[in-house]
Structure 1
């Protein structure tokens, strides 16, 4: 940034601060109005121009935005959690703290600790043939990043990408999910109070706005949601050659190895399947277990529910299905199955009036049943039998590559067999879900479960241009290789081409 640009930026800061105070006095009602297409295009044009005129190349500005984000979450965490709960009909505040607020705060802390280091130019190795020149890689902001947020974890799946985008020096536009309107409104109001619209702005609206949002010529577009919609987002981005990161879903399997501690496996699988009532893209979708363990698995699951979610219909720790449409979809899956294959793990029945979907195990469903064809996204857990580990691996590999794969057991040879003979977005050994909150691990899918990865340094690099730079030394021999090509050139080529 030149001195003139820096002075202009500081002058703009005064205007930005005045605007922020003005927006802080606006009513939340004004923010609940959907963004129009014209307004959205104007917001994008404003951010795009700023990204070209005033690229954010200094760490101080980036760190300030992370501080603003942390302050926003700290001061608004209660109201944001209440808005999420209102959208779900009820969601445990403890779950929001554990699964959304905590990883958001630790993500900010991680970025603030390492971001300054990540943005520095770094040396790259160079062949001895080109010395004494040297190579560098210089991370640069892409410009304007678009983020499309799903409804199931609307806070963490907005804040996580925002952290990476801001750390990389980008400006951000966020399209909130229309399926979680109360949270969308609350989040938009919070962003307007804590950020200048020169840095972060929120877009509200229905599917038509989302469709237009995905057509904007962002420098990068990150979408989290279903595979079906992900295909549409990629198609909409293609005419602009907008690079995309797609965090999708699919069916994340569990393999319980022969001889595994079944009680421990059930404990972790049920935790992952009941969190947010199973509405998690990396929730265990089905379990591959040996036939001899089938009845014990169901018994242990019932005991686990009695211990962790007693009186589930009134239990304040258990969440609801987001809306009637999703509830009816899952209930439809169950209604197609033989009654003797459906095992309730509690005394409660599915209740559309309260959108309570209690955990249910399904025994050995047919492969062509909807519960096995579609991502369940609810606390319904199919048990699928296998005879040999090779059979289990073949079963996983015959299907689209999952976003997550979970394996339980102590036999290191068999664990290694699963590691080396399967491909998945992520892998957990004797655990579920927790890989998503490891800021030193990239998170993303592969194939139908997504493209690209982010979180931590991987997210910083995903949302940066990692510019290669070749620096020639004043003393070099390149002139010796210029035409007319004589004897020296031929000798040199003869050596290098051997």
Structure 2
């Protein structure tokens, strides 16, 4: 059974464009949908085989993938690619493989007393064809993590990589094509036509990871087909330093969380709220930790480059705007220093005395720039966070459990790590997802399996049940049944 395209996309696909990449994508999509409808429920063995083949794509090409990603960035730390991408993909596949049989099993659900001895079951079924619009910042992990959940749930997958990582995208397309039939898993090209038309295809579920601005456009396009979406967005994720915190410990962990991948991480701490009397000392401690970890030499192989000249210029603009508006800037070199700019490495930058009028406090930074703001009272810090869009992540540092629980209960965010940064993302048994402007939906582990499954309720009637009493002609039996149901409620 075929599915019609959204009229807006159909209009764009005129006969004169029959040979374009978008027309080829449309044909591939319909072929995958047809295969999905013909074979709607792959068994456990087939799903495990697909997961094994996906693992082989990564395992057999691990060094090539690292080199491709580094080439796209200009320089990407090989260690960061391993720990933040490759190992997380292997962990996700291993976890899904271990638990898939139990995830696929229909679950018993309680049956209300008046319907006994009938039974209820919740039956997970594949949705069909899943679309994934992948980002550039962690191209391997953030592309394959949702694909793992989708394949485990028995779906077929089409992946649209980011145009900012062409070497990685070409390699992924090549290696996936060697292991998978085009009706199982397909990696598209990165042409503009595909980027503009992908979200208009009537997928059974669509995953997008990227900016809030583009996420709104993706949701709008998907909504025309009533396609459900998982949006993994971002925003300004705060870190709160409580008065009870160990400042040395917090400084080390925030420095790492901010500078991993040169700050190009959707859950990186975007700004830090520090007790007013500790801002200067904390800034010095963070700066010292940044120097200890990455030094001051732009050729340091552990420090990752900014993805493009455009993003580098954007970061320069944020810092210049803050300086012009009165902020104090702490950095080992100016970003226009030829030694740094030649490597497209942005100097780790701290901004003190940031205000809400500055661009750096109005948009997601997505780079190695960190504003530090002072607060007088813990309530002020909570109010500051709550006055803004719901963040994708929140970090709290301290030893006062009452203060910690106050922040947890009075703020809403996609996820939280206490006394560290980023690591809630790595918890395979916890969902990963945003809330409000930072996203919707979740995946990882069983949460991904459920996101990409239809959990179908099934009611098994027993021949001994008196449900026939509900049938007309109505009479005294309805009154008796009503009385019984009111008694049981």
Classify the TM-score, shorter chain: over 0.9
1:198 Cα deviation from its structure 2 partner:
2.1
For residue 68 of structure 2, what is the aligned residue in structure 1? 83
Whether contact under 8 Å (2:169, 2:190) holds in the other structure is no
Q: Deviations over 1:202-244 (max 9, x none)?
A: 1112333112110001000000000000000011111111111
The answer for unaligned runs of 5 or more in structure 2 is 1-18
For residue 178 of structure 2, what is the aligned residue in structure 1? 193
**Greater displacement, 45-54 / 288-297:** 288-297
Task: Output the CA distance in 1 between the equivalents of 2:23 and 2:192.
Answer: 16
1:158 corresponds to 2:143: yes
**Pick aligned residue for 1:141 from 111, 117, 126:** 126
1:61 corresponds to 2:46: yes
For residue 4 of structure 2, what is the aligned residue in structure 1? none
**Pick aligned residue for 2:364 from 368, 372, 375:** 375
**Equivalences for 1:220-239 in 2 at 5 Å?**
220-239=205-224
**3-state SS of the aligned residue for 2:270?**
strand
Task: Output the CA distance in 2 between the equivalents of 1:35 and 1:201.
Answer: 17
1:398 corresponds to 2:383: no
1:457 corresponds to 2:429: no
Task: Output the CA distance in 2 between the equivalents of 1:235 and 1:470.
Answer: 35
**3-state SS of the aligned residue for 1:304?**
helix
1:305 Cα deviation from its structure 2 partner:
2.1
For residue 174 of structure 1, what is the aligned residue in structure 2? 159
1:349 Cα deviation from its structure 2 partner:
4.2
**What is the TM-score normalised by the length of structure 1?**
0.91
Whether contact under 8 Å (2:160, 2:195) holds in the other structure is yes
**Equivalences for 1:307-456 in 2 at 5 Å?**
307-338=292-323, 341-347=327-333, 349-350=335-336, 351-456=340-445
For residue 289 of structure 1, what is the aligned residue in structure 2? 274
For residue 248 of structure 1, what is the aligned residue in structure 2? 233
1:299 Cα deviation from its structure 2 partner:
1.2
Q: Deviations over 1:263-299 (max 9, x none)?
A: 1111111111000000000000000111111111111
Whether contact under 8 Å (2:77, 2:304) holds in the other structure is yes
Whether contact under 8 Å (2:234, 2:364) holds in the other structure is yes
Whether contact under 8 Å (1:334, 1:342) holds in the other structure is no
**3-state SS of the aligned residue for 2:464?**
coil
1:124 corresponds to 2:109: yes
Task: Output the CA distance in 2 between the equivalents of 1:115 and 1:283.
Answer: 31
Give runs of ≥4 in structure 1 deviating > 4 Å.
Answer: 347-350
Whether contact under 8 Å (2:95, 2:445) holds in the other structure is yes
**Equivalences for 1:68-107 in 2 at 5 Å?**
68-107=53-92
For residue 109 of structure 1, what is the aligned residue in structure 2? 94
Task: Output the CA distance in 2 between the equivalents of 1:324 and 1:155.
Answer: 22
Task: Output the CA distance in 2 between the equivalents of 1:306 and 1:286.
Answer: 19
Q: Deviations over 1:286-339 (max 9, x none)?
A: 001111111111111122123211243121100010000001111001111227
1:104 Cα deviation from its structure 2 partner:
0.4
Task: Output the CA distance in 2 between the equivalents of 1:203 and 1:390.
Answer: 49
1:36 corresponds to 2:25: no
Q: Over the residues paired in the alignment, what is the CA RMSD in angstroms?
A: 1.4
**3-state SS of the aligned residue for 2:463?**
coil
**Pick aligned residue for 2:289 from 294, 304, 311:** 304
Whether contact under 8 Å (1:301, 1:345) holds in the other structure is no
Task: Output the CA distance in 2 between the equivalents of 1:477 and 1:389.
Answer: 60
Whether contact under 8 Å (2:316, 2:335) holds in the other structure is no
For residue 16 of structure 2, what is the aligned residue in structure 1? none
Whether contact under 8 Å (1:35, 1:205) holds in the other structure is no
**3-state SS of the aligned residue for 1:104?**
helix
Whether contact under 8 Å (2:298, 2:343) holds in the other structure is no
**Pick aligned residue for 2:465 from 457, 465, 476:** 476
**Greater displacement, 484-493 / 176-185:** 484-493
**Pick aligned residue for 1:212 from 192, 197, 206:** 197
Task: Output the CA distance in 1 between the equivalents of 2:298 and 2:389.
Answer: 35
**Equivalences for 1:260-271 in 2 at 5 Å?**
260-271=245-256
Q: Deviations over 1:80-112 (max 9, x none)?
A: 110110011101111000100010000000000
Q: How many residues align?
A: 465
**Greater displacement, 40-49 / 471-480:** 471-480
**Greater displacement, 386-395 / 485-494:** 485-494
For residue 479 of structure 2, what is the aligned residue in structure 1? 490
The answer for unaligned runs of 5 or more in structure 1 is 1-33
Whether contact under 8 Å (2:105, 2:123) holds in the other structure is yes
Whether contact under 8 Å (2:328, 2:353) holds in the other structure is no
1:482 Cα deviation from its structure 2 partner:
2.2
1:139 Cα deviation from its structure 2 partner:
0.4
1:168 Cα deviation from its structure 2 partner:
0.3
Task: Output the CA distance in 2 between the equivalents of 1:290 and 1:413.
Answer: 17
Task: Output the CA distance in 2 between the equivalents of 1:74 and 1:413.
Answer: 46
Task: Output the CA distance in 1 between the equivalents of 2:333 and 2:163.
Answer: 34
**Greater displacement, 361-370 / 349-358:** 349-358
CA separation of 1:272/1:449 partners in 2, compared to 1, >3 Å: closer, same or farther? same
